[in-house]
Chains A and B, each alone.
Chain A
Amino acid sequence: MELASTLYQSPYYEVAICATRCPLNLAETASLAEYMRETLEAHDLPRHFQARVRGPVLSHHRFKVAVAGCGVAAEYGYANAGIVYNDLKDRPTRYSGRGGLGSVMASRGLKFVVVDPLGAPGAAIADRSRFEQGRKKLEEALLEHAITKPKGGLNTYGTAILINILNEAGGLPTRNFSSGRFEGAARTAGEAIFEGNKQRLGRELYNHACSPGCIIQCSNTWHRPDGSEHVSCVEYESTWALGANCAIDSLDDIAELIRLCNAYGLDTIETGGTLGVAMEAGVIPFGDGAAAIRLVQEMGQGTPLGRLLGSGTESVGRAYGVTRVPTVKGQSMPAYEPRAVKGIGITYATSTMGADHTAGYTIAPEILGVSGKLDPLSPEGKAALSRAFQATTAFIDSTGHCLFIAFAILDIASGFEGMVEECNGVLGTNWTNDDVVRIGAEILKKERAFNEAAGIGKEKDRVPEFMKYEPLPPHDQVFDVPDVALDSVYAEL
């Protein structure tokens, strides 16, 4: 078992176990390694590894495996448990975060999935020259656009670049969606992360890739005062959910909350939404970072209060009698206030996933087939655009591209062509730009049919009631998109 013991000691597996076996103390590597050994042996995996690797297994980079795991949050069956993937530096930080997917995995007794590409056939590419032609166009667009290029917006400030923007716009949900502006926002923003790291490290730190070969490289890290790494990644949604939404303005507290979420396998949006409702209920005060950390630790420990919080934003609202509960279809809202940004409110309401900020990315208006027909600022126009955006997003997601390519290909037409050519190169199809929305719509229809068969129909396509009568400062607006406009999103698909 010499090979196997090398394997267990590799930092990769320690991290992987952290993400899959709690509430063990993170520092308890001996017991974690023992658990991993038992699990691997139970499934005869050491022999599997030995048969495929020559020499000692030192790290997963040499061994080239990827691990998807679910954490203690999933073992407890929490509604806010995600599936956690290790990034290129073995951090359990990338997520299939939303909808309690981790608990679905754990409920089947599945602890983690190891993907080993050795001996696998790889992806078949029908027409490699066509694929390469498309790849070059898309790459050029990403390298050129101000948002996606090296040392551009995302590579410098990360997705948290949006904190100050939404705060100025009056659309940054604050104190459990009771205001659109947070007085401490600037201290939690992407600019503050960049400058804070620079002060603590003595040099500029640009962001890194979350997956091999990425050009955009938007994943950041936050460092402690002594320069050691605290956590990756402080996304916009995470620094908002655990920051402005809870009135917490310390990046160090936010980083610790994210680190705990990663350790337990908790989705940060749902966790921040839950804490916001718990603060509204008076469980702890708004702005108390130390108390918020204690509550997340209780989720990890599985105390009675921790289990209640782990059941998610909507359940905590019910338990404490809170009516300001920012959810759609039971899923907590992300960091764009529908009363200030009404277009995304329509997507939140109608997305098949529940409130989802990634369901409605946009592409060139001439492709969407809606420009010129409707006033884009009327409720009907916004609904038509949301429908086209959701279809577009379903297409891009299904191709395996990162959704952030949408930033570049909206403004650079050749990049959009490149994406379609890549697909044609892989599949041997002859799709044109116009096929994108059509194919995306077919995907949405399947998702919708699934929901309807599960009893989730158009009556669930609604924002929470309080948003219809409670004006949001500073613009003092309510969500006034009529139900008929919301219903038209899928009725006219």
Chain B
Amino acid sequence: MGCVVDVWLYGALARYGGDAARPSYANIKVQLPDGGTVADLLAQLGLPSGERGITFINGQLSAMPGLQPDLGHLLHDGDRIGLFDLRSMWPFQYRHGAAMIPEMASAVHGKEGIRHSYERRPRKEAS
């Protein structure tokens, strides 16, 4: 039977939206099998998980750059998933106290939560 989820792809990820892609975002409905997860959704979109950063499921933060505890999260019919490219940011002081999925909440528990990026050390770009 499966389920249909509402997917928003922002910035550089808009290109994974196929025909629905606008220059700066894409909004598409994606059919998933029952028991489908975030990983299944990414596979169906052809979107490598490492290309996405901040992610939301129904307005709840589920992933950040360097921290992706949501790959096994079950998706349900009507869920809204927002996926951002790696340039996006959400500084701690502007997300402190905002909703998170339980997997994300436990991943950032304690002082590890107070970061702007969860990559251990941002990579130096070749000059």
Contact = CB atoms under 8 A, between A and B. Distances in A.
A343 B119 contact: no
Given A146-B65, A371-B110, A372-B111, A156 B87 contact: yes
Interface stretch (B30-38, B40-48, B71-79, B94-102): B94-102
Contact of B94 (A156, A162, A192): A162
A174 interface: no
Contacts of B122: 144-146, 149, 411-412
A186 B98 contact: no
A360 B87 CA distance: 23
A364 B122 CA distance: 16
Contacts of B27: 186
B115 interface: yes
A328 B96 CA distance: 20
A191 B111 contact: no
Interface stretch (A194-202, A260-268, A314-322, A428-436): A194-202
A277 to B, nearest CB: 23
A181 B54 CA distance: 17
Nearest to B26: A186
B70 to A, nearest CB: 14
Interface stretch (A7-15, A46-54, A163-171): A163-171
Nearest to A340: B98
Given A186-B25, A344-B93, A344-B96, A191 B10 contact: yes
B17 to A, nearest CB: 12
B111 A165 contact: no
A475 B97 contact: no
B91 interface: yes
B95 to A, nearest CB: 6
Interface in B14-72: 22-25, 27, 54, 56, 58-59, 61, 65
A407 B58 CA distance: 26
Contacts of A191: 10-11, 24-25
A204 B86 CA distance: 18
Contacts of B111: 365-366, 371-372
- B interface SS class: loop
B90 A162 contact: yes
A161 B86 CA distance: 12
B93 A347 contact: yes
Given A186-B25, A191-B11, A410-B116, A342 B97 contact: yes
Contact of B96 (A181, A195, A366, A382): A382
Contacts of A189: 10, 24-25
A366 to B, nearest CB: 7
B90 A196 contact: no
Nearest to A164: B10
Contacts of B113: 376
Which of B23, B93, B124 has most A Cβ within 10 Å? B93
A195 to B, nearest CB: 4
Contacts of A362: 91-93, 114
Contacts of A152: 87
Contact of B59 (A161, A168, A371, A382): A168
A347 B110 CA distance: 20
6 contacts: A194-B24, A195-B23, A343-B96, A343-B97, A382-B97, A410-B116
Given A146-B122, A154-B89, 8 more contacts: A156-B87, A157-B88, A170-B59, A340-B59, A341-B97, A344-B96, A411-B116, A475-B59
